[in-house]
Amino acid sequence: MLDPFGRRLTYLRVSVTDRCDLRCVYCMSDDQTFLPRADVLGLDEIERLCLAFVDKGVERLRITGGEPLVRKNVMRLFEGLGAKIGSTALKEVTLTTNGTQLSNYARGLFDAGVRRVNVSLDSLDSDRFRAITRRGDLSQVLAGIDAAAQAGLQVKINTVALKDLNEDELPDLMRWAHGNGFDITFIETMPMGEGEDRTAHYLPLSDVRKTLAREFSLAESLHRTGGPARYFQVAETGGRLGLITPLTHNFCESCNRVRLTCTGMLYMCLGQDDNADLRAPLRASADNALLDVAITEALQRKPRGHDFVIGRAATARPMSLTGG
């Protein structure tokens, strides 16, 4: 499946809910309103959509949200998709989670065929963690991360680099992650969503890199995970650091992904509003003929790149809808 710029689309991110048990300051407002449940696709429908993409050559699925593990019966989806790994084009099913429910689900995820999990964690200080997430309990997340590692899941930590909120803690977070055998990726805040100014804590990763370089030697690594991160090998810790810099470094040329929301809207680019409704063709018939046409047609509209500019919301769509 090639887009108009010859990029092969092998990666689908799927948001299974816009709901979440946390309210991270850069992602949601405290009184966030969520979609009416009636608008959200059933898990069976999401599975059918995912498999239609797998039929078209998608090799990797990442389940996200909102918080995917707060969706009722979500393990059914992991089990259904996991059963297709190897016998179809599908090579991998992963998830991005805030970790609050991982203690309960880590073992089940592994048994379903999941091998890697990204856990978002912006601070190792419980007061700060609560402030950034507006309600989170750090010990619950750390227990979840531990359970994931115990279950055999490869853990990667995702940390949004936030001016004034966790800027001074980034070296410690990296040391902690590497000390536990986890890769860690720092992410720049992206101007997503309306309402309060989500760019107030924007911290360019070029600054973070300079600060880290005082203490650590970062060697550019050729490691790639199919995502937009660039990786560095850190001599002092022996671990790997990823940097995702959508604003300061344009990663669109190698973009291999599209995103599906929990209402069945396909977004061809995280930073643009163009989308295609897949729910209507999905529901119009029990076979996938209409759906296949809709997917093919949508992919022809994948743009060359986004145009994020700090200081204005590039898109009014919050990250919790398309899952980052």
What is the smallest separation between the CB atom of 143 and ligand SAM, expressed in angstroms?
Answer: 16
Q: Could you tell me the two tokens for 114?
A: 């999941």
The contacts of residue 250 (CB under 8 Å, 6+ apart) are: 305
**Letter string b/e over residues 66-94, b meaning 16 or more CB atoms within 10 A of that residue's CB:** bbbbbbeebbebbbbbbebbeeebbebbb
Binding pattern for the stretch 56-95 against ligand SF4, x by CB under 6 A and - elsewhere: ---------xxx----------------------------
What is the smallest separation between the CB atom of 118 and ligand SAM, expressed in angstroms?
Answer: 7
What is the smallest separation between the CB atom of 135 and ligand SF4, expressed in angstroms?
Answer: 10
- 20 near ligand SF4, rule: CB under 6 A: yes
Main-chain dihedrals φ then ψ at residue 245, nearest 5 degrees: -125, 75
- 324 near ligand SAM, rule: CB under 6 A: yes
> What's the CA gap between 296 and 321, in Å, rounded?
22
Count of beta carbons in the 10 Å neighbourhood of residue 112: 19
Which of 94, 101, 103, 158 forms a contact with ligand SAM (CB under 6 A)? 158
- Name residues contacting ligand SAM, limited to 73-112 (CB under 6 A): 96-98
Pairing state between β 11-15 and 116-120: unpaired
- Name residues contacting ligand SF4, limited to 255-294 (CB under 6 A): none
Which of 14, 145, 151, 192 forms a contact with ligand SAM (CB under 6 A)? 192
Amino acid identity for residue 300 in this structure:
Q
The strands making up 240-244's β-sheet, listed across from edge to edge, are 218-221, 230-234, 240-244, 183-188, 154-161, 116-120, 92-97, 60-64, 11-15, 257-260, 265-267, 275-277
Which of 123, 245, 315, 320 forms a contact with ligand SF4 (CB under 6 A)? 320
- Name residues contacting ligand SAM, limited to 32-71 (CB under 6 A): 64-65, 67
What is the smallest separation between the CB atom of 235 and ligand SF4, expressed in angstroms?
Answer: 31
What is the smallest separation between the CB atom of 276 and ligand SAM, expressed in angstroms?
Answer: 21
Which of 16, 25, 26, 156 forms a contact with ligand SAM (CB under 6 A)? 26
Contact between 70 and 39 (Cβ < 8 Å)? no
Q: Which is nearer to ligand SF4, 264 or 323 (CB)?
A: 323
- 189 near ligand SAM, rule: CB under 6 A: yes
What is the smallest separation between the CB atom of 277 and ligand SF4, expressed in angstroms?
Answer: 23
The contacts of residue 69 (CB under 8 Å, 6+ apart) are: 95, 97, 100, 101, 102, 104, 105
Q: Which is nearer to ligand SAM, 64 or 166 (CB)?
A: 64
